[in-house]
């Protein structure tokens, strides 16, 4: 499945007037304690004298020294330790901390399965019985047979911070690569296992990022992508260039790997490879940033070998459109593309032809295609309908056959398979239901449950509605509102957003959000411009010189919620991560009186230097180039770090990051927090929570997820007046 770039034991209150009195008195107490909470004594953040001059304007950067790597700079390490000490003291004292930690832990204590992947006659899937720090990997000999443990990453590190980041079985199911991620880094170590015996082989590959994109060729070897070696240890801050495709033969050292494709004349190009299910064709997709704009090369694998090499043929040039390889049937290759179809269409071509000719199989519709696969002799497509999943089955010539019934508003993912298969598996989730895994027989149309969690709450006690509110310029923006059924009147509200990189936010389950709902809060997800919910036009309307639209969409969502009594005048909290952390920082700066509490997580906060580290150079597709004056002036106008003003009463802000994040380096959050604390030292609390042995988010152990979730929710609850229900 190729995706284009988610009340029996409910802590319910007693019914009637007595319960209402209890809730009212608790909220009154929370509001009283809120007003008397002292501002923490922040650690000193040394101000440097760095001033940059760009396009005739001088811009001070007094906290440039906080960009240095905490692993090697003692002053930065001391600053991190001092900030964490202050933050932990403040968060531990919050009245809701213990309740949220207990409740989130209980809400996460359920069986969680990954979508099975079938290779040969084996079914591979991840599994967590509840509160293991890392999910395990199992295999079955039949889809409904007994599972056998293959890998338990919980034995790899005492702190649980070393994760199984991915796996890829060979087509026969006999061998399997697996990827080790330590401390949340984007770097991966690739190893190989014999599935029958569970023996880990001597093969070990390094210098792969984001998984390496392993693609097997028989059981003899596989293709993967990697960057040049950076010495004895990975480089966690420098820009990564010169990604290349290699072939690794099982049983040989990495030094013997064969370079299959590289572009040394264009070091900034990134490359990935996909091998067809019949292993006759390979497709190399090259990119220059985060946009879905690719060049495509193909390889006829029958006309070459690892020893002799392969001939690479370019079939798409220009980096103008997306071309996502689905699979091949014979020499006919199927792709999804946004060429002449901003919401995507499915096309096919003859890989053996001297000159490719593209033919439309499934035309573009009003609903963007979100994923595509070939299973058996059918195409399975998923669409986005107002940010929820719709799935449909087509013949290979594009004839509509049937829709796949999914039920309530939610998100479905998976639908993997191969030509010749008769079955596929998918997961379905919503805001109030954790993932259930289904098996779908495409011949009979029958669906069966592969795995369904036993819940510790009653999802029927909550309801989800979708509204379309007007943004500043009148654009209608969709927004999901989740709360208890029958809940009337305003309640403390948590508003979440992202708005960027063509990424669509759809309904998914979160234990932290469910705890917020159980406490009587409202959760809201706004589908801001900049995402991919409505295709290319929606994305374009929220990036580059249109980025301010995203901030306006988010602020106007908050205004709508207050104006329509979903939340109280002092009850609006906002939250976002990564690009969403940037969103939170910018909206707090621009609307300090609207926002009552904020959590900016792993955010991109310095928009004038974001392209200086690790993956930052890719983001120019969405943000623009700081080296170009027109882009620089747009970035300067909203950069969170550069637009904090002394004397402004900013709302309470909790910044969360990790000391070893090598996606959005923590210097972004360090500098932003130092500037915020200096600008408003006696105002509302402006704290930073810095996780250790963690990265941008993936691979984080369960105990750290629970602890961080409790800290964040308790902070936001305290500053919006959300009171905790009575304990069991």
CA atoms 216, 222, 223, 228: torsion sign: positive
Same domain membership, residue 381 and residue 463: no
pLDDT classification of 12: cutoffs 50, 70, 90 = very low
**Residue 728 placed within a domain:** no
Indicate if the pLDDT at residue 605 is higher than 90: yes
pLDDT bracket for residue 18 (50, 70, 90)? very low
Residue 575 pairs with which residues in a beta bridge?
496, 599
Is 546 domain-assigned? Answer: yes
Catalytic residue among 286, 287, 578, 669: 578
Do 442 and 466 lie in one domain? The reply is no
The answer to whether 688 and 657 have CB atoms below 8 angstroms apart is: yes
Q: Does 429 share its domain with 491?
A: no
Structure tokens given for 184: 């949340």
User: Of 433, 454, 475, which closes a domain?
Assistant: 454
CA distances from 262 to 181, 312, 323 (A): 25, 11, 19
582 and 433 co-located in one domain: no
Which is the catalytic residue, given 248, 297, 686, 696?
696
248 given a catalytic annotation = no
What pLDDT is attached to residue 724? Answer: 85
Range of the domain at 411: 365-454
Using pLDDT thresholds of 50, 70 and 90, give the confidence band for residue 728.
Answer: low
Residue 347 located in a structural domain: no
* 0.85 exceeded by pTM: yes
Are both 688 and 715 inside the same structural domain? yes
Sequence-distant (≥ 6) Cβ neighbours of residue 327 within 8 angstroms? 276, 277, 333, 334, 373, 374, 418, 419
- State the chain's mean pLDDT as an integer: 93
Distance CA(79)–CA(45), nearest Å, equals 7
Confirm whether 136 is domain-assigned.
yes
For the segment 194-214, the average pLDDT, to the nearest whole number, is 94
Q: Is the pLDDT of residue 20 over 50?
A: no
Domain at 155, CATH number: 2.130.10.120
* Long-range residue pairs from 702-706, CB within 8 A, at least 24 positions apart, any chain: 702/108, 702/128, 702/131, 702/132, 702/133, 702/134, 702/160, 703/131, 703/133, 703/160, 704/160, 704/161, 705/108, 706/101, 706/104, 706/105, 706/108, 706/511
Do 708 and 565 lie in one domain? The reply is yes
Higher pLDDT, 230 or 391: 391
Beta strand extents in 308-421 (DSSP E only): 312-321, 323-329, 332-337, 345-350, 359-362, 369-375, 378-385, 388-395, 400-404, 411-414
Whether 232 maps to a domain, the answer reads yes
Domain end point (choices 428, 454, 480)? 454
Residue 17, pLDDT > 80, answer no
Which tens digit of pLDDT belongs to each residue from 614-641? 999 999 999 999 999 999 999 999 999 9
The confidence band for 231, taking pLDDT boundaries of 50, 70 and 90, is confident
* Domain boundary residue, one of 402, 421, 454: 454
Residues 145 and 242 in one domain: yes
Check: CB of residue 681 under 8 Å from CB of residue 713.
Answer: no
pLDDT single digits (tens) 407-466 = 788 999 999 999 999 999 999 999 999 999 999 999 998 999 999 999 889 999 999 999
What CATH number is given to the structural domain containing 489?
3.40.50.1820
**Is 50 exceeded by the pLDDT of residue 26?**
no
At residue 11, does pLDDT exceed 80? no
Q: Which residues pair with 345 in a beta bridge?
A: 337
- Same-domain pairing of 99 and 121: no
Look at residue 132 and tell me if it is in a domain. yes
Q: What are the b/e assignments for 453-473, b being 16+ CB within 10 Å? A: bebbbebeebebeebebebee
Q: What is the CA radius of gyration of the chain?
A: 26
Domain count, the chain: 3
Look at residue 122 and tell me whether its pLDDT is greater than 90: yes
Rounded CA separation 147/169 (Å): 16
Do 423 and 493 belong to one domain? no
Model confidence band, residue 24 (pLDDT cutoffs 50, 70, 90)? very low
Q: Is residue 331 part of a domain?
A: no
Mean pLDDT, residues 700-718: 97
pLDDT of residue 307: 87
Find out whether 283 and 325 touch, Cβ atoms under 8 Å: yes
540-561 tens-digit pLDDT: 999 999 999 999 999 999 999 9
Q: Are 425 and 495 contained in the same domain?
A: no
Residue 406 in contact with residue 430, Cβ under 8 Å? no
Angle of helix 702-720 versus helix 17-35 axis, rounded to 10? 90
Under the banding of pLDDT at 50, 70 and 90, the label for residue 37 is low
For the residues of 283-301, what is the DSSP string, one character each?
A: EEEEESSSSS-EEEEEEEG
Average pLDDT, stretch 60-82? 96
Average pLDDT of span 317-323: 96
Indicate if the pLDDT at residue 391 is higher than 70: yes
Q: Is the domain of 421 the same as that of 541?
A: no
The two structure tokens encoding residue 166: 């991915």
Instruction: Please check the confidence at residue 15 and state whether its pLDDT lies above 60.
Output: no
pLDDT single digits (tens) 256-302: 999 999 999 999 999 999 999 999 999 999 999 999 999 999 999 99
Residues 655 and 508 in one domain: yes
Please check whether residue 76 lies inside any domain of the structure. no
* pLDDT, average across residues 86-102: 96
pLDDT tens, residue by residue, 182-200: 999 999 999 999 999 999 9
pLDDT in tens, 349-380: 999 998 889 999 999 999 999 999 999 999 99
430 belongs to the catalytic site: no
Residue with the bigger pLDDT between 307 and 343: it is 343
């Amino acid at each position: 499945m190729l995706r284009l770039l988610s009340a029996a034991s409910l802590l319910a209150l007693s019914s009637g007037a007595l319960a209402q009195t209890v809730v009212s008195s608790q909220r009154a107490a929370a509001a009283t304690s809120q007003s008397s909470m002292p501002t923490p004594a922040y650690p000193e953040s040394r101000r440097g004298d760095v001033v940059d001059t760009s396009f005739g304007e001088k811009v001070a950067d007094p906290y440039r020294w906080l960009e240095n790597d905490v692993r090697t700079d003692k002053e930065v390490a001391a600053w991190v330790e001092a900030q964490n000490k202050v933050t932990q003291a403040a968060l531990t004292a919050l009245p809701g901390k213990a309740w949220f930690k207990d409740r989130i832990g209980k809400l996460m204590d359920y069986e969680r399965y990954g979508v099975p992947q079938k290779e040969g006659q084996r079914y591979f899937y991840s599994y967590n019985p509840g509160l293991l720090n890392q999910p395990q990997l199992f295999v079955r000999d039949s889809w409904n047979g007994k599972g056998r443990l293959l890998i338990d990453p919980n034995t790899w590190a005492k702190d649980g911070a070393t994760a199984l980041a991915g796996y890829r079985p060979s087509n026969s199911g006999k061998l399997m690569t697996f990827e080790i991620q330590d401390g949340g880094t984007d770097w991966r170590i690739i190893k190989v296992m014999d599935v029958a015996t569970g023996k880990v082989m001597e093969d070990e590959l390094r210098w792969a990022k984001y998984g390496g994109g392993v693609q097997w060729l028989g059981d003899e070897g596989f293709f993967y992508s990697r960057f040049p070696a950076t010495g004895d240890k990975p480089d966690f801050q420098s820009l990564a260039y010169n990604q290349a495709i290699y072939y690794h033969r099982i049983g040989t050292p990495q030094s013997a790997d064969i370079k299959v494709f590289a572009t040394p004349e264009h070091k900034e190009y990134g490359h990935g490879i996909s091998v067809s299910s019949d292993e006759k064709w390979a497709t190399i997709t090259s990119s220059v940033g985060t946009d879905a704009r690719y060049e495509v090369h193909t390889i006829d694998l029958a006309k070459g070998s690892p020893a002799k090499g392969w001939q690479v043929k370019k079939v798409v040039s220009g980096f103008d459109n997306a071309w996502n390889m689905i699979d091949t049937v014979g020499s006919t290759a199927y792709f999804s593309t946004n060429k002449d179809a901003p919401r995507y269409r499915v096309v096919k071509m003859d890989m053996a032809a001297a000159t490719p000719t593209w033919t439309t199989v499934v035309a573009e519709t009003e609903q963007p295609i979100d994923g595509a696969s070939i299973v058996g002799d059918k195409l399975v497509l998923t669409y986005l309908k107002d940010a929820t999943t719709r799935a449909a089955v087509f013949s290979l010539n594009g004839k509509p056959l049937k829709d796949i019934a999914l039920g309530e508003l939610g998100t479905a993912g998976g639908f993997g398979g191969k030509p010749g298969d008769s079955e596929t598996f998918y997961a379905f989730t919503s805001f109030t239901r954790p993932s259930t895994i289904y098996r779908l027989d495409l011949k009979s149309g029958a669906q069966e449950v592969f795995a369904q969690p036993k819940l510790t709450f009653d999802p029927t006690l909550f309801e989800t509605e979708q509204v379309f509110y007007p943004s500043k310029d009148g654009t209608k923006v969709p927004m999901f509102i989740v709360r208890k059924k029958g809940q009337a009147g305003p309640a403390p509200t948590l508003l979440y957003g992202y708005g960027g990189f063509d990424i669509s936010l759809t309904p998914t389950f979160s234990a932290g959000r469910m705890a917020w709902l159980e406490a009587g809060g409202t959760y809201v997800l706004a589908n801001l411009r900049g995402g991919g919910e409505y295709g290319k036009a929606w994305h374009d309307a929220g990036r580059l010189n249109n980025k301010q639209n995203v901030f306006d969409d988010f602020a106007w969502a908050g205004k709508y919620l207050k104006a329509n009594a979903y939340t109280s005048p002092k009850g609006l909290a906002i939250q976002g991560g990564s690009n969403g952390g940037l969103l939170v920082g910018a909206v707090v700066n621009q609307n300090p009186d609207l926002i009552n509490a904020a959590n900016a997580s792993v955010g991109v906060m310095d928009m004038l230097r974001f392209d200086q580290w690790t993956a930052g150079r890719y983001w120019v597709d969405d943000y623009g180039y700081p080296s170009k004056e027109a882009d620089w002036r747009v970035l300067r106008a909203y950069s969170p770090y550069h637009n904090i003003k002394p004397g402004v009463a900013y709302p309470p802000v909790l910044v969360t990051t990790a000391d070893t994040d090598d996606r959005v380096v923590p210097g972004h959050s360090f500098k932003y927090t130092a500037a915020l604390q200096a600008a408003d030292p006696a105002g509302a609390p402006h704290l930073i929570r810095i996780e250790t042995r963690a990265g941008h988010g993936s691979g984080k152990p369960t105990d750290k997820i629970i602890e961080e979730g409790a800290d964040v929710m308790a902070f936001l609850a305290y500053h919006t007046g959300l009171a905790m229900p009575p304990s069991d």
